[in-house]
Amino acid sequence: MSQLKYLIEKEFKQISRNAIIPKMIVLYPVLVLLIFPWAINFEVKNIQIHVVDNARSVYSQRLINKIDASAYFILTGVSTHYNDAIGDIEKEKADIVLEIPASFDTDMVKERRAKVMISANAVNSTQGLLGNNYLTQIINDYSQELRTELFPASALSDASHIDAVTDYRYNKRLDYKTFMLPAFIVLMMTLICGILPSLNIVIEKETGTIQQINATPVSKFNFILAKLIPYWIIGLVILTLSFLVTWVIYGLLPSGSFATLYISAVVFLLGITGLGIIISNYSDTLQQSMFLVMFFILIIILLSGMFTPVSAMPGWAQAVAYANPLTYFIEIMRLVYLKGSALPDLFKPLMWLTGFAVFFNTWAVLSYKKRG
């Protein structure tokens, strides 16, 4: 026990003497939670649109005004030449071109329908698809408005319709930041508590201090445990700071219990720090360790359901996601934060995290080769 206590004290002294790590523990959660929720946002807005108005009528101008009033679009130009508008797309001055035909008014009055042409820049497929959907919705609403004005009797005769009333559970305002903040907390814990233990051991290999420890009767278990415990504590400090920042800046508090989050976080930290130790055991230099860490961290972040639902991934990616501890901890964080889930509701993901923790730490101890 005295051996373990001495080794843990040694780790904390090394961390406190480091010029960067203590500052990173405090500043990193604050900066990430202040910047990332605003910068990483899949809500598409400020789509640049160029309208080719061949009709140049009151009706076409009303449609243009409706588009311009939308929060999703920025009207960059109105012209009568389609080639000019397409030129704006090529020059990246416009994302979408809407062409209104010269017969727009006549078609609406005589045929009761008119056709417009939408050309979208699909280099960014998400922006192209969502921009087209937003614009189509505006056009459909305007079309219904015109029908009511021009053909009131007909509009009334088409009275049979269904009104769908939507209740958005657990995220009433459909706020993407509310959805992403719990995942960003997991991201920070992963980056700091997954990377630093690995780099710590490799640095000791390069400086030769690990050989001095290996020459003593310290067991492999105590050595690995002493390396992990400080980062478990650091992970919980990061979690606590993150709770504070999300409450002060965004007014977001967990709907569920803090105790549930801390228990889940401890189990997750056991696993992710163990993975960092495994990587260090197979790395002889800092460069090797950094390459392997970034390789695995990138994969587990991208294939965790943080940005894309696991169910929307191809089969092979889903298989990787379900073998990924981040997938389960992000699920837990979102369920507790937004839905208020309790420990009994989280039995399955917690069991997976426990399995990962046992597997990674057993591997870490067995793969560590003690050389005197």
- How far apart CA 193 and CA 92 sit, in angstroms, is 42
Report pLDDT for 29. 86
The model's confidence at residue 261, banded by pLDDT at 50, 70 and 90, is very high
Report pLDDT for 20. 81
Is 329 within 8 Å of 275 (Cβ atoms)?
no
Is 52 within 8 Å of 81 (Cβ atoms)?
yes
Instruction: Tell whether the model's pLDDT for residue 145 goes beyond 80.
Output: yes
Out of 73-82, 107-116, 266-275, 303-312, least confident range: 107-116
Residues 6+ apart with CB under 8 A from 265: 189, 235, 236, 239, 329
Report pLDDT for 161. 44
Average pLDDT estimate for 143-160: 66
Tens digit of pLDDT for each residue in 6-50?
A: 788 888 888 888 778 888 888 888 888 988 888 776 667 889 999
Report pLDDT for 171. 78
Residues 6+ apart with CB under 8 A from 75: 49, 50, 51, 64, 67, 68
Instruction: Tell whether the model's pLDDT for residue 208 goes beyond 80.
Output: no
Report pLDDT for 168. 67
Average pLDDT estimate for 318-334: 94
367: phi then psi, degrees, rounded to nearest 5: -85, -10
The model's confidence at residue 177, banded by pLDDT at 50, 70 and 90, is confident
- How far apart CA 133 and CA 112 sit, in angstroms, is 22
The dotted CATH code for 47-157 is 3.40.1710.10
Spell out the long-range contacts of 76-82 with Cβ–Cβ below 8 A and sequence spacing 24 or more. Answer: 76/48, 76/49, 76/50, 77/50, 77/51, 78/50, 78/51, 78/52, 78/53, 79/50, 79/51, 79/52, 79/53, 80/52, 80/53, 80/54, 80/56, 81/52, 82/52
Average pLDDT estimate for 133-146: 88
- How far apart CA 332 and CA 261 sit, in angstroms, is 8
Q: Please give the mean pLDDT across all residues of the chain.
A: 85
CA dihedral 265, 271, 272, 278 (to 10 degrees): 160
Average pLDDT estimate for 211-219: 71
Instruction: Tell whether the model's pLDDT for residue 122 goes beyond 90.
Output: no
Instruction: Tell whether the model's pLDDT for residue 158 goes beyond 90.
Output: no
Domain boundaries, given as residue ranges, for the chain? 2-40+172-367, 47-157
Query: Nearest-CA neighbor of 360 among 237, 241, 268?
Result: 268
Instruction: Tell whether the model's pLDDT for residue 287 goes beyond 70.
Output: yes
Report pLDDT for 154. 58
Out of 23-27, 87-91, 293-297, 367-371, least confident range: 367-371
pTM greater than 0.75 (yes/no): yes
Instruction: Tell whether the model's pLDDT for residue 212 goes beyond 80.
Output: no
Higher-confidence residue of 336 and 42: namely 336
Instruction: Tell whether the model's pLDDT for residue 350 goes beyond 90.
Output: yes
